[in-house]
Amino acid sequence: MAYTILFGAFTFLMIIGMPIAFCLGIASFATVLYLGLPPVVVFQQLNSGMNVFAMMAIPFFIFAGDLMVRGGIATRLIRFAAGLVGHMRGGLGQVNVVASTLFGGISGSAVADASAVGGLMIPQMAKRGYDRDYAVNVTANAAIIALMIPPSHNMILYSIAAGGNVSVADLFTAGIVPGILLAGALMFTAWWVAVKRGYPADAFPGFSRVGYYFLASLPGILLIAIIFGGVRSGVFTATESSCIAVLYAFLVAMLVYRELNWDGFVEAVMGAVRTTAMVLLVIGTAASFGWLMAFLQVQTLIIAAISAISDNPIIVLLMINVILLVLGTFMDMAPMVIIATPILLPVVKAFGIDPVHFGVIMILNAGIGLNTPPVGTVLFVSCAVGGISIREAMRTIWPFFGASLLVLLLVTYIPQLSLWLPGVFR
């Protein structure tokens, strides 16, 4: 009966549209009352879930990304991307993907990527004769590259949800090759759709102009090297790197580009506070929910159920991918990672799957979920920026969605795509 109360209450509340944090908290509280445990347990677990030092990296990375958007860094990265790949067929679509990859390596946030790059690129693409559904679909799918490459704060969330036993440095490194592979797949798809629709290509501006754009964007690009190099070499932790990212972004925006004013700074602070408050509340209530799952030995039951179906890791990973893709359609990324990791990580470990490899699989699945309604946050943001409905976008999103699924299969069944680079740095 306790399982029914815990999962039934959570599912019912989510269906009727209650915010996910309240779904988790109320379901946990109801289950604790049924079990006869002290109600204070829920609040103790909520507090312990939020009171994690490594969690400080999340608000700082969010703040750094917002400072970069308002400080002119995103604009210069897009200009550099345009010089590199704008001459290809469907050039602005290619620019969108490359700019998202570069900016994602700075912000680490898919939503920030979609709003920053999309806000600049979608109007330009529409003005140049590109269909808005194409512009929106390229933007939405390219934005999830930010989740794969450092400094993805969702990798930090996964590490925390895994009990802090999975190295953030290894996770940062493991996502690089899959992230580049996803960018390549989306660029090919953007080119293929552009050829079918007859979109134009711009003239190549020349190597000197590309070099100029590179130098103009170099202060922003250097942040990627600072964050990744510092964390990977052990000079500073992921939390410390997030603070350095904020300081660096502020100095670049104020002293180098000189585009950040007081109003922009206040908006960036308030945006980071709002986002952090939402994320931390979800994390806290998810910790209570996760503690109850451990208390009720849900993981043991799932391992037994999956083992009864198959003990083949290939089949197990396929089932887990299907579960995660379904969860992604109605759960946002942070709660999905926080809830699903404690349940599924013991399962994959039991079948000999590396936790770092599974972390990349988890994050990519959750990223694809950000573009699948009814809770497709990145798709909603991209459609809002592009001024089209979700229905219009969904009619033509399938080539891009298929490219993301293909990369997911490759990452799932070729572990070395994730594990080779961390092995090089050990």
Which 8-state DSSP code applies to residue 148?
Answer: T
For 108, the 3-state DSSP assignment is: coil
pLDDT tens digits for the chain (426 residues)?
A: 787 888 888 888 877 877 777 888 888 888 888 888 888 888 888 877 777 666 677 778 778 877 877 777 777 888 888 788 877 877 788 888 888 888 776 666 777 777 777 777 888 888 888 899 999 999 999 989 988 888 787 888 898 888 878 888 899 899 999 999 999 999 999 999 988 888 877 777 888 888 888 888 888 778 777 877 777 777 777 778 888 888 888 888 888 888 888 888 888 888 778 777 777 777 788 778 877 877 777 767 777 777 778 778 888 899 899 888 888 877 778 778 888 888 888 888 888 889 999 999 999 998 998 888 766 778 888 888 888 888 888 888 899 999 999 999 999 999 999 999 988 876
- Please name which of 193, 74, 134 lies closest in space to residue 382, comparing C-alpha atoms: 134
Q: How far apart are CA 95 and CA 138, in angstroms?
A: 10
φ and ψ at 258, to 5 degrees? 55, 45
- The residue count for the chain: 426
Q: 346 preceded by cis ω (within 30°)? A: no
Q: How far apart are CA 68 and CA 251, in angstroms?
A: 10
For every residue of 335-388, DSSP letters joined together read HHHHHHHHHHHHHHHHTT--HHHHHHHHHHHHHHHTTSTTS-HHHHHHHHHHT-
Q: Which residues of 301-331 are buried (b: 16+ CB within 10 A; e: fewer)?
A: ebbeebeeeeeeeeebbeebbebbbebbebb
Q: How far apart are CA 309 and CA 305, in angstroms?
A: 7
Residue 336, amino acid: M
- Please name which of 54, 119, 63 lies closest in space to residue 274, comparing C-alpha atoms: 63
Residue 284: Cβ within 10 Å count: 24
Q: How far apart are CA 372 and CA 332, in angstroms?
A: 10
Q: With the C-alpha atoms ordered 18, 333, 406, 318, is the resulting torsion angle positive or negative?
A: negative
Which 8-state DSSP code applies to residue 63?
Answer: H
Element (H, E) at 186: helix 176-197
For every residue of 69-103, DSSP letters joined together read HHTTHHHHHHHHHHHHHTTSTTHHHHHHHHHHHHH
Q: How far apart are CA 176 and CA 254, in angstroms?
A: 30
Q: How far apart are CA 131 and CA 127, in angstroms?
A: 9
Residue 200: Cβ within 10 Å count: 12
Q: Which residues of 335-356 are buried (b: 16+ CB within 10 A; e: fewer)?
A: bbbbbbbbbbbbbbebbebbbb
Is the Cβ–Cβ distance between 70 and 271 less than 8 Å?
A: no
Q: How far apart are CA 62 and CA 67, in angstroms?
A: 9
Q: How far apart are CA 413 and CA 361, in angstroms?
A: 10
CB-neighbour burial class of residue 221 (10 A; exposed 0-12, middle 13-18, buried 19+): middle
Is the Cβ–Cβ distance between 13 and 3 less than 8 Å?
A: no
User: What predicted TM-score, i.e. pTM, was given to this entire model?
Assistant: 0.83
Q: How far apart are CA 367 and CA 141, in angstroms?
A: 9
Q: How far apart are CA 426 and CA 419, in angstroms?
A: 11
Any alpha helices (H) in 252-352, and if so which ranges?
A: 262-295, 298-309, 313-330, 333-350
CB-neighbour burial class of residue 92 (10 A; exposed 0-12, middle 13-18, buried 19+): buried
